[in-house]
Structure 1
Amino acid sequence: MALNREPATRWAWIEIDQGALRRNTRAFKNLLGPRQRLCCVVKADAYGHGAVECAKIMYATGADMFAVATVREGVALREGGIKAPILLLSEPPIEAADTLLAHQIMPSIYTAEFALAYGERAVSAGVVGKYHMAIETGMNRIGVHHTEVVEFRRSVEFHRGIACDGVFTHFATADEPDGWDYKLQCRRFEEAVTAMQEARFPCGIVHCDNTPASILDPSTHFDMIRAGIGLYGLQPAERTAPVFPLDPVMSVRARVTRVTHPAIGEGVGYGFTYRVPRARVQICTLPVGYADGLSRTLSNRMDVLFRGSRVQQVGNICMDQFMVAITETSKRQMPEAEIGDAMTIIGRDGDEQITADEHARLRGTINYEVVCDFGLRLERVYR
């Protein structure tokens, strides 16, 4: 983790705004009552923001639990010094049981085969393995079917090596809390929880809310919410933005590595998809490419910020580099760049801003994927 220092080995980096991360975490914590908990989702290396570093900031700001997608992600948190409860949002291979127990990572469970094998490994280790039971309420991805929860609990609850720490489901359409599908999932989840309680099976922490549901439907907060993309300052849906402002945490910047003035008609980059249209066009090279998460589909379609103004990206984006064109017109006096000048790919520069949502629209995807992709290879600086 670099603090307030750019990488010494490359003129390209991600900036993480620690203050914005604290404010966003606090905003989600403030949605909750005194007995409700905040689970911060830090899977995919905290959506490209750096899981260990972000988890430390979140924990200091009120996080009660962390959620990951893979066993390795959970182990990385433990090795990074995170001591809070960690929930694995999937059921891993049975071979992972010993690793889960050794690092106190709670798996999601939805098959009896895994539950019983996990319990056997826990008994052998002299511990009790905690787990959260995933309930399938309509997304048709993972979980015990909502009509079969009592039968499932009966098939595993006898085992002394396991203990249910929580039950949960996941919403497919939480951005539409008035919709029929969302309400059906809510009803199925509530009925499943009630059925287990009436059968005297402990449910532990009851939770179902992802980021949009946490914001839009307080009635489903139950014992805990699972905040994800919103922690990083990105809106999960159009209708959350007006009611729950957030501060973007990630910026992506790079410094110019080369400047040139090609002749009229000369091409730029692979395939010459851009040719210089007039005299005095400055072509600047920046050391970021599609291997760093800057999608090649953005070639000749995106802007970057330089000294508070937008400049056009030109030519095909390469694996490790891309180019921009600085053109002075009668309507805009644009200074030329020099080697070492900083440009902004995602983030704010003066009054201008380029967001992950802008990149997402151009790519035909969602802001989640944009920030995850930038975390592939770029070093992070925490400010």
Structure 2
Amino acid sequence: MIKLYRYTFAVVDLPRLASNVATIRDALGPDVAVLVAAKANGYGHGAVPVARAVVHGGAEALGLASVEEALEIRRAKSPLSLLVLGAINADGAVAASMADIAVTLSGSPEEIENLPTMPKPLAVHLKLDTGMGRLGLRTAEELIATAKAVVARPDLRLVGVYTHLASADDPDGRHAQGQIARFEHALASLTEAGIQVPIVHASNTAGALYHSDWRYQMVRIGIGAYGYSPNSEWPLQLPLRPVMHLYSVITRVATLDAGETVSYGATFVAPRRMRVATVPIGYADGYFRSLSNSGITAVKGVEVPVVGRVCMDQLMIDVTDVEGVEVGDVVTLFGRYSPSSWDGGNIAKCKEAQRAEWIVQTFCRTDRIGEVSLDRVAKLAGTISYELLCAVSPRVVRFYVPLTQERRFS
């Protein structure tokens, strides 16, 4: 039973996640494998539930940032192939081999030779840096030399070669095209050297869905699986929907006279007599301080602004123009507007043993149409949707819509 001692929570819509992946899967066709990126606790959604959902969507693999993240998925008995996308050390390589986890290597032949003997054959993907300037071998010659070092070891299996596109979401496309050209040159050099690689991959969400000729044998889908375009100004032409929805509950409603101030620094001065509601969510929960005096939320299906500075654990909103707001009403921070059945303190009134199920079921029968767009909130915060999703902290309780849950809305 999930206990909710503080009414700040997220609803994670697993059927929607599975549907997003299936939609992408269908758009790519049967010849391209789909790896879903589930780094950083599944982009904040919960890595293990994400792993379960993407299987239903038809994904073949999961991408993680570290061996630790991959081991969490493996312990959950996921049938997906797992690939660690980040750098690893010798101990990490040994642990990965024991758990049937593929790893990324981009070191010199000497570094490959100096790895300890693996207890089980270790699947290896080599990474080429074609313009990201982050991880990866720098030239085709380096790639060939390291590939030969991998092939020479009986305890290593060369199963993949990949690169990462820095600007596939740029409509101009020239930088990404240059990266692909360098990647193609390196692949041709590998073939000329007699080295065969089963899985070649380069595209993230943007590369896969904007550029069909960059898909190779596998694509790595990140933000698209969670319902967003990598470039909010260049929407994806697919019916993807947000998976996470963030809510909190009003704990106080106060009437302020003109000239009174709100929050630290007195940065907001009431221009008139107004009603201000306090909401128990702040930057320690992942709601950015940069949204002070600029954020947008919704109460009773009406958008209302954040006033004053966002605090560590609380923020304030102007509810002057929303009729009948009271303590216990639900505030939408981002995502689908909260159901009307949640208002009036009904979440608190619901018996604790049934609360989680009731929240999920009423969410799936919501009667309010509309949403607080995460892309819009991110723009107001001066960041991107990825960062806000990953920032939702562990103290925000996640309620998961089961993969079998029926719903009224699409």
Provide the TM-score with structure 2 as the length reference: 0.85
Q: Distance in 1 between matches of 2:144 and 2:57?
A: 37
One-letter amino acid of the counterpart of residue 378, structure 2: A
Percent identity, please: 33
Equivalent position amino acid for 1:302 in 2? G
Take 2:14 and 2:390, find their aligned partners in 1: how far apart are those partners?
A: 18
Q: Which runs of 4+ in 1 moved over 6 A?
A: none
Match of 1:311 among 304, 312, 317: 304
The separation in 2 between residues aligned to 1:228 and 1:318, in whole angstroms, is 31
Alignment correspondent of 1:374: 392
Task: Give the distance between the partners of 2:236 and 2:36, measured in 1 at CA.
Answer: 22
Deviation at 1:358, TM superposition (A): 0.8
Which residue does 2:354 correspond to in 1? Answer: none
In 1: Cα distance, 2:65 partner to 2:206 partner: 19
When residues 177 and 197 of structure 1 are mapped into structure 2, their CA distance, relative to the original with a 3 A threshold, is farther
Q: Which residue of 2 aligns with 1:331?
A: none
Q: Which has the higher contact order (CA 8 A, sep 6+)?
A: 1
Q: Deviations over 1:90-131 (max 9, x none)?
A: 22122322221222221100113443344x331xx2x21111
Aligned 1:1-383 pairs, distance under 5 A: 7-111=3-107, 112-118=109-115, 120-122=116-118, 125=119, 127-148=120-141, 149-176=143-170, 179-238=173-232, 240-241=234-235, 243-279=237-273, 281-328=274-321, 334-349=322-337, 350-383=368-401
Letter in 2 for 1:361: K
Q: Distance in 1 between matches of 2:376 and 2:217?
A: 35
Contact 1:215 1:240 in 2 (8 A): no
The Cα shift of 1:239 comes to 6.2
Listed as ranges, the gaps of 5+ residues in structure 2 are 338-367, 402-410
Contact 1:286 1:321 in 2 (8 A): yes
Partners of 1:184 and 1:317 lie apart in 2 by 43
For residues 149 and 71 of structure 2, the distance between their equivalents in structure 1, rounded to whole angstroms, comes to: 29
Q: 1 CA distance for matches of 2:44 and 2:397? A: 10
Quick check: 1:326–1:336 contact (8 Å CA) kept in 2? no
- The CA deviation string for residues 45-75 of structure 1, in whole angstroms up to 9 with x for no partner, is 1111111101101012211010011221111
Separation in 2 of the partners of 1:183 and 1:37?
Answer: 22
- Partners of 1:215 and 1:240 lie apart in 2 by 12
Change (3 A) 1:240 1:315: closer
What is the aligned length? Answer: 369
Name the aligned partner's letter for residue 357 of structure 1: D
Distance in 2 between the 1:357 and 1:177 partners? Answer: 18
CA RMSD of aligned residues (A): 1.9
Q: Which runs of 5+ in 1 are unaligned?
A: 329-333
For normalisation by structure 1, the TM-score amounts to 0.91
